[in-house]
Structure 1
Amino acid sequence: MTEHIQAPHLRGPSEHSVRDQIVESATGHFGRYGYGKTTVSNLARSIGFSKAYIYKFFDSKQAISEVICANRLATVMEIVDAMVSDAPTASEKLRGLFRGLIEAGSDLFFHDRKLYDIAAVAARERWPSVRLHEERLREVITQIILAGREAGEFERKTPLDEVVGAIYLVMCPYINPGQLQYNLDGMRKASMHLTALILRSLAL
């Protein structure tokens, strides 16, 4: 199971129960009011803590949101990892990767729209959690391609980094929150077509 990523700029003991309480309460608050319209003062009043007390654990609103974003992305990766690990072949693993990312992303978009806004800001501003998520996805793609080559499913002539980079770029409109919102219509059909195209290009 994917471990939740610890965000930077945290203060106080990382496992402190108060820190977890702040994150949990902030998740609910951001989910209701959104990221842009919330200040640490708003959050403090909502949680019932003083602003100064919150600053003992987090140095900014973004630091709190970073943890929330990291946890959401970790959940996405848990879904993706499950779909990839359950697939019997490299080709099916690649299909599972696409399917998992789209299902997890669209679920967050439709059911936690305000929290999706945090993910969009994080992607636009390149928060550490987003960069780690992208690195993790590239690792998953790399392992799938290597498995496919070893099994004789995929060609081996194209440099590995080129293959991984190209697949990642094809997936970006369905990964990046800022782009996903413009690709919701027909995205499942589009992902199937794109996956089929990628697999044909990888075939021996």
Structure 2
Amino acid sequence: MTIQTNETPARGPSEHNIRDQVVEAATAHFGHFGYEKTTVSDLAKAIGFSKAYIYKFFDSKQAIGEVICANRLAQLAEIVDQAIADAPTASEKLRRLFRALTEAGSDLFFHDRMLYDIAAVASRDNWPSAAAHQQRLRQLIQLIIQEGRQAGEFERKTPLDETANAIYLVMRPYICPLQLQYSLDTASSAAVLLSSLILRSLSP
């Protein structure tokens, strides 16, 4: 999320560094105390800045959370891209996509529980970062399906967008923060079983 300011370009780098400091401190603070239980006043005291000074860079607590959430989702996207980069077939890309998403989500839940709460709030309230992430996943699924159809791996009768949306909905309980917390025990096996089911349904 880009924050526009009215400052002169000469002051940009310095203010950008301060903004990064706020985000870094907020990430640590939210990670320890949780997002919803923390106010901007709490954050200001922890960082050592005034509340008014923080509002100079962010117009709300959500704006800070948006940056943190976007950063985490960018890391997740990088994990996914690396996982499928050298997959030899579209079928293998789908398998790796599902596995990478469930493993990364489960890892975030277990090892960064408080920051996971930000992702849950972002998903619940449909923050722009969460909506963009969901759209990116749908597009990625669609591209993989297209690749599989061109290679003769997948059937071509079902409308492409219908197929992509259906696959996304099958994956959603294991990649959506709000739903994953109820599916942690089965996430690993689901990544294998459901991807196999999806691939069988895609067979020509």
Which TM-score tier does this pair reach, normalised by the shorter chain? over 0.9
Aligned position for 2:65: 65
Asked if residue 175 in structure 1 is aligned to residue 180 in structure 2, the reply is: no
Structure 2: distance between partners of 1:198 and 1:36: 37
Structure 1: distance between partners of 2:91 and 2:154: 9
Offset of residue 147 of structure 1: 0.6
Aligned position for 2:132: 132
Aligned position for 1:198: 198
Matches within 5 A, 1:116-127: 116-127=116-127
Q: Is the 8 A contact 1:11 1:56 kept in 2?
A: no
Aligned position for 1:82: 82
The structure richer in helix per residue is 2
Q: Is the 8 A contact 1:98 1:191 kept in 2?
A: yes
Structure 2: distance between partners of 1:139 and 1:45: 42
Structure 2: distance between partners of 1:123 and 1:192: 25
Q: CA RMSD in A?
A: 1.2
Structure 1: segments with no counterpart, 5+ residues = 1-5
Offset of residue 191 of structure 1: 1.7
Residue 182 of structure 2 aligns to a residue in which SS? coil
Offset of residue 186 of structure 1: 2.1
Aligned position for 2:92: 92
Q: Is the 8 A contact 1:22 1:54 kept in 2?
A: yes
Under a length normalisation based on structure 1, what TM-score does the superposition of the two structures give? 0.93
Aligned position for 2:105: 105
Structure 1: distance between partners of 2:175 and 2:153: 25
Identity %: 68
**Aligned amino acid, residue 93 of structure 1:** K
Under a length normalisation based on structure 2, what TM-score does the superposition of the two structures give? 0.93
Offset of residue 36 of structure 1: 1.4
Structure 2: distance between partners of 1:95 and 1:73: 20
**Aligned amino acid, residue 195 of structure 1:** S
Structure 1: distance between partners of 2:109 and 2:32: 14
Aligned position for 2:155: 155
Structure 2: distance between partners of 1:81 and 1:174: 18
Structure 2: distance between partners of 1:134 and 1:21: 28
Offset of residue 11 of structure 1: 5.0
Aligned position for 2:27: 27
Q: Is the 8 A contact 1:11 1:55 kept in 2?
A: no
Aligned position for 2:53: 53
Structure 2: distance between partners of 1:34 and 1:133: 22
Structure 1: distance between partners of 2:102 and 2:187: 8
Runs of 4+ in 1 over 2 A off after TM superposition: 10-15
Structure 2: distance between partners of 1:88 and 1:132: 27
Structure 2: distance between partners of 1:116 and 1:11: 27
Offset of residue 139 of structure 1: 1.0
Tell me the matched-pair count: 197
The structure number with the bigger radius of gyration is 2
